Amino acid sequence: MPKLKKVYLCSACGDDFPKWNGQCPSCKEWGTLSEYNTSKNNIRRDIKDSYALSEILNNTPSDRMRTSLNEVNRVLGGGLLPGSLILLGGSPGVGKSTLSLHMCSGLHQKSLYFSAEESEEQVAIRAKRLKIKTENLFLSGESDLNGIITHLDRMEPKFVIIDSIQTIFNSDLDSLPGSPSQIKDCGQKFLELAKSKNITILIVGHVTKEGTIAGPKMLEHLVDTVLYLEGDDRYDHRILRSTKNRFGATHEVGIFQMDDSGLNEIKNPSELFLEERSSDVSGTCIYPSLEGTRPILIEIQALVTNTNYNAPQRNVTGFNYKRLGMLTAVLEKRIGLSMGTKDIFVNLVGGLKIDDPAADLSIISAIASSTMDKYIEKNIILCGEVGLTGEVRSISNLDRRITEALSLGFKQAIVPYFSKKDKLKSKNIDLYPVKNVKQAFKILFQ
């Protein structure tokens, strides 16, 4: 029987300490340290050998397990990598369990699905409705960590799903499932299992109302990949986004559509977000966004009206609120538009979110278009970072953005003057390089 070690664990950051403090020394939060008992094994572990990197590379297979969803494969960097630990987060009902089942479908290797939130029968009914191929899929309702390890030793699967980490517990600890100590300990054990058995483990986790994974932040540091499944009840599409990936590109996205048959891949998301676009209306323009390595065309809408309040409203959906204030100040100072008595509303169509400064030129142009009530030509795109002096700065991957716009029939692009444009000379598009916002507005509203 392992000895128990008494520690004090912070419920905010997950760090543990040998003594109690009123304030956590790591995250500086007050009143978050609680006493827990952890197992302490006095048996010394065998020291692992060291190997030459060239020897490891020659003996390590690089083949990934490809799921039936190409969007998932692309977000992961090519598929499921053996020995990796993946964390999938999302709000309740967004489709995490559905996506997990879809990932099992089509795999030729044995998969083991641990569902501590639903019975095996409930998961089987959903798998039947989703038409999941079940030849190599096995289900278990085990929630005890020691029982899960026994299952893995006996069945030797290649892909394991834990649904969810908040319901799994280690019986050696005296805390409840979902507590910081349980999540931290179980996460560490799953990491050891993934590496020692060379299997892929997908951990499903709930998110808090702030949109972060519930539990200690250390869980996100442990895993190799962090995925978020984003969605809104008002829309039927879902966005799978990678915020951390040791074996692929970060901030990569996959777009899906949710219906009765589950999650269906959207091959061309730009068409989805532009299909209901209104033409010849002021306050709207197209921005070629870049999500990871994927270009997506997004419609940006702005509405500017005279305010009826002492303080004008500034409402924005899908974009940084403080950056909107900066762009409004540039309009007033550098262009001469009076914005102090105007209500400004900015919306990214489709519920998308962007934090790329390359969207500045599109947003400031949409606001100016609505203010002056002059529409922007429908076959033109705009991209560029706007500085405080009104200059338009260069952006990355301009050629990818232009190529995506060309594939959807756009013929004109207003781009930063100092961007590398040699790759774009052969493309069938009219480029308008501008140095500042004034030059862009002369082209748009002449």
pLDDT of residue 415: 94
Kindly tell me if the per-residue pLDDT of 203 is higher than 90.
yes
| Phi, psi (deg, nearest 5) at residue 103 | -65, -30
- Closest to 310 (Cα-Cα) out of 349, 278, 341, 273: 341
Kindly tell me if the per-residue pLDDT of 161 is higher than 50.
yes
Helix (H) or strand (E) holding 206: strand 200-206
pLDDT of residue 304: 97
CATH number of 63-267: 3.40.50.300
Q: Residue ranges of the domains in the chain?
A: 3-40, 63-267, 272-445
At 179, the pLDDT band (50, 70, 90 cuts) reads confident
pLDDT of residue 215: 67
Paired tokens of 273: 């977000």
Kindly tell me if the per-residue pLDDT of 38 is higher than 70.
no
Residue appearing with tokens 């020995």: 83
**pLDDT tens-digit readout, 115-156:** 988 999 999 999 999 988 878 999 999 999 999 999 999 999
Among the ranges given (4-13, 314-323, 326-335, 429-438), the one the predictor scored with the smallest mean pLDDT: 4-13
As a whole number of angstroms, the distance between CA 246 and CA 226 comes to: 9
For residue 227, give the amino acid letter: L
Contact 95, 213 (CB under 8 A): no
Greatest mean pLDDT among 11-25, 205-219, 275-289: 275-289
How far, CA to CA in Å, does 54 sit from each of 57, 58, 209, 321?
5, 6, 46, 49
pLDDT of residue 256: 93
Give the SS3 label for residue 95: coil
Q: Which residue has the higher pLDDT, 82 or 47?
A: 82
CATH class of this structure's domain 272-445: alpha beta
The CB density around residue 133, as the number of other CB atoms within 10 Å, is 13
The model's pTM is: 0.81
At 367, the pLDDT band (50, 70, 90 cuts) reads very high
At 46, the pLDDT band (50, 70, 90 cuts) reads low
pLDDT of residue 43: 42
pLDDT of residue 73: 94
Q: What average pLDDT is seen over the chain?
A: 88
**pLDDT tens-digit readout, 211-241:** 677 666 778 889 999 999 988 777 788 999 9
pLDDT of residue 357: 94
Kindly tell me if the per-residue pLDDT of 3 is higher than 70.
no
Question: Region 356-378: what's the mean pLDDT?
Answer: 96
pLDDT of residue 423: 58
pLDDT of residue 345: 97
pLDDT of residue 211: 67
As a whole number of angstroms, the distance between CA 382 and CA 440 comes to: 9
pLDDT of residue 261: 86
- Closest to 385 (Cα-Cα) out of 406, 412, 410, 415: 415
Kindly tell me if the per-residue pLDDT of 42 is higher than 50.
no
As a whole number of angstroms, the distance between CA 443 and CA 446 comes to: 6
